[in-house]
Each structure stands twice: as structure tokens, then as C-alpha cells.
């Protein structure tokens, strides 16, 4: 890992020399702008619109526009003086519970490792925070930017999470179109809570992948190989009209329950279906009325649940050759 900062954690009169490493990396695929006519990548130049010429780095300063077209200028030495005192120290101001901090304040995570002979003090701070369950709120300056930060134990390492300052977080009241507080439908609420329960699972970050990046890598690979590559269009999402129907469909999809129970059972395990409200007749009674039923027209039996059940009349017995001669 590349060291991005060196300094010391300071709490009370204790100083812990540390080195800082970025805990995350940006894996976005960078695409360059290309001139379609010749295929060359475009370059960007630092050009002064008044002098109409390129400007070298040593001729560039910094300024703040306090009115349209009016600037106050700063040189490098002035800006360096602002961060000289605080740039080498992480000063812990308070210790708090992690649960008290809303994630909206989190910005970027870094790992801290002991520097030089600071292993003992590093281990002491880490174990003290682990046993008390507290995290440190500190101030730090990285690359000329001052930030709030949270110092916490992450496995066997001390990590630091840079924060936004409170005035950098926009209030929720500025969000347009939020619904007014009101009652929700109890049945819809129960269905929504059931759906959340069905989708609840332990957090496993390894199962979440960047699908867009993978498709982009596949596209790049195929283009390098000179192959045609087409991505199927995504299914069009429909507007939700019936909220209860959408919730029910979502729950059934999670539970893998088909909406249609399927055809009735057949085979050895199936019970013969009889008309609703009728009793089974004895075998002798059935035999006695068999002849009458053969001549009578077939009358369908009506099942209240499934509708008419056709009754097939038995075929008449064929006379044998002996009976004809007689």
C-alpha cells in the first residue's frame, strides 16, 4: 500500500506515531475522449484566454472569486502556513459511541499503522477503545483540507473515517416533494413488513458485485478481439398501480410459491372425486340400477367448486354368437 500521510494520533499527553493508507480503491473504468476523425486521444492545456497562450505550472497561482471577475490572490507560502500546524497531527477531541453517528457524515476510510517505535502506544489505544466500545472524534488535515474524523478499531487495525462537517450536510427540509406525515394502510404495512422479513439476511458484502463494470470489461474484451457484442435491453419497469398486488407478488417471488396450485392429483394417491353433498351408494344398489341408467340419458353432476362433471353411461353388452343361434 502507498502511504498517503504520516503523523501522530494525539489524545491527552499521549502521542501515537502512525502512517495512513487508503482503505478503499476506485475501480471505475476510465474512458478517454477520442477524436473520431483520426482516433487520437484529446489533450487538455492550461490556456489563458486573455494572453491566448499556454501557461506553465510555475506561472500558476490560486485565487478566490469574491465577486464576478474579482479575485484575491494567494501564493503557495501563504496557503502552506494555514495547514502547517495541524497537518501532522490527528487530535482526538472526544470519545463517543459509534451508534450515535448517522452514516450520512461518513466520507472516506483510511487504515492507520504504527510508525517507528509507536507499536506499544498503538496497541494500547486500540485495546482501550475495543474494551470500552468507544470511538474517538478527531480533527485531521489531509492534502490541505481539514476534516472531522472517527477513529475506531477495525479487526486488528485502527481505522479512521473522515467526516463531513455539520454545515456540509444539507437538511432534509430542503428535499422537495416529500409526503406529508399521515397514516398508512394497516394491511399494506403488514405486507411490507412481511416482505422485509422475507428479504432479511446476514450482510455478506462479497455477494454484491458491480454489474456495470463487469459488462464494460466484457465489452472491452470483445472489442479488442474484434467480436460483435450486443447487450440485451433491460426489461421495462411498469408503474405500480395496485400496491397490495405488488407486495403480494413480491412475497410470492421471494417464497417461490406459485400462484396456481396446479392440476388435481392423479394416480394411486388420488382420491376419487364425488359430487358435493352426495353419499356413496352400496354395490348392490349400483348393480340394480345399472340397467336403468344404461337406457336413461346421461345427466351431468354439478360440483359447486369446479362445475359440471360429465357422467359417461356404460356401453351395452354385445350378444355372443351362441345366443344368436339359440
HEC secondary structure over 150-187: EEEEECCEEEEEEECCHHHCCCHHHCCCCCCCCCCCHH
Average pLDDT over residues 186-196: 91
**Residue 215: pLDDT above 70?**
yes
Helix or strand or coil: residue 115?
coil
53-86 in b/e burial notation, b at 16+ Cβ within 10 A?
eeeeeeeeeeeeeeeeeeeeeeeeeeeeeeeeee
Q: What is the pLDDT of residue 231?
A: 62
**Residue 31: pLDDT above 70?**
yes
**Confidence label for 297 from pLDDT (cuts 50, 70 and 90):** very low
Q: What is the pLDDT of residue 273?
A: 45
The Cα 45–Cα 50 span in angstroms is: 15
Say what the pTM is.
0.63
**Confidence label for 287 from pLDDT (cuts 50, 70 and 90):** very low
9-31 in b/e burial notation, b at 16+ Cβ within 10 A?
bebeeeebbbbbeebeeeeeeee
Average pLDDT over residues 142-154: 87
**Confidence label for 39 from pLDDT (cuts 50, 70 and 90):** confident
First to last CA, the chain: 111
Give the sign of the dihedral formed by CA 36, CA 37, CA 39, CA 40.
negative
Higher pLDDT pick, 265 / 80: 80
Higher pLDDT pick, 87 / 169: 169
**Confidence label for 93 from pLDDT (cuts 50, 70 and 90):** very high
Amino acid at each position: 500500500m502507498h502511504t498517503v500521510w504520516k503523523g501522530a494520533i494525539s489524545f491527552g499527553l499521549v502521542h501515537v506515531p502512525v502512517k495512513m493508507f487508503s482503505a478503499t480503491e476506485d475501480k471505475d473504468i476510465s474512458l478517454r475522449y477520442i477524436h473520431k476523425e483520426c482516433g487520437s486521444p484529446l489533450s487538455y492545456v492550461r490556456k489563458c484566454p486573455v494572453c491566448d497562450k499556454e501557461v506553465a505550472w510555475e506561472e500558476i497561482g490560486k485565487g478566490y472569486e469574491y465577486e464576478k471577475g474579482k479575485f484575491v490572490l494567494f501564493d503557495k507560502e501563504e496557503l502552506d502556513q494555514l495547514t502547517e500546524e495541524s497537518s501532522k497531527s490527528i487530535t482526538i477531541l472526544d470519545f463517543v459511541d459509534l451508534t450515535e453517528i448517522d452514516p450520512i457524515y461518513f466520507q472516506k476510510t483510511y487504515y492507520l499503522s504504527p510508525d517507528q517505535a509507536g507499536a506499544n502506544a498503538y496497541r494500547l489505544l486500540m485495546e482501550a477503545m475495543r474494551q470500552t466500545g468507544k470511538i474517538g472524534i478527531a480533527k485531521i488535515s489531509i492534502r490541505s483540507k481539514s476534516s472531522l474524523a472517527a477513529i475506531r478499531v477495525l479487526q486488528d487495525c485502527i481505522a479512521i473515517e473522515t467526516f463531513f462537517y455539520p454545515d456540509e450536510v444539507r437538511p432534509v427540509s430542503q428535499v422537495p416533494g416529500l409526503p406529508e406525515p399521515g397514516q398508512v394502510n394497516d394491511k399494506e404495512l403488514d405486507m411490507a413488513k412481511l416482505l422485509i422479513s422475507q428479504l432479511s439476511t446476514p450482510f455478506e458484502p462479497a455477494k454484491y458485485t458491480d454489474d456495470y463494470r463487469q459488462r464494460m470489461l466484457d465489452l472491452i474484451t470483445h472489442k479488442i478481439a474484434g467480436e460483435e457484442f450486443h447487450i440485451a435491453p433491460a426489461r421495462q419497469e411498469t408503474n405500480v398501480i395496485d400496491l397490495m398486488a405488488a407486495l403480494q407478488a413480491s412475497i410470492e417471488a421471494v417464497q417461490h410459491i406459485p400462484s396456481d396450485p396446479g392440476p388435481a392429483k392423479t394416480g394411486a394417491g388420488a382420491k376419487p372425486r364425488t359430487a358435493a353433498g352426495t353419499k356413496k351408494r352400496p354395490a348392490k344398489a349400483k348393480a340394480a340400477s345399472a340397467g336403468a341408467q344404461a337406457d336413461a340419458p346421461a345427466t351431468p353432476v354439478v360440483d359447486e367448486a369446479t362445475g359440471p362433471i360429465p357422467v359417461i353411461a356404460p356401453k351395452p353388452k354385445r350378444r355372443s354368437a351362441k345366443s344368436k343361434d339359440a
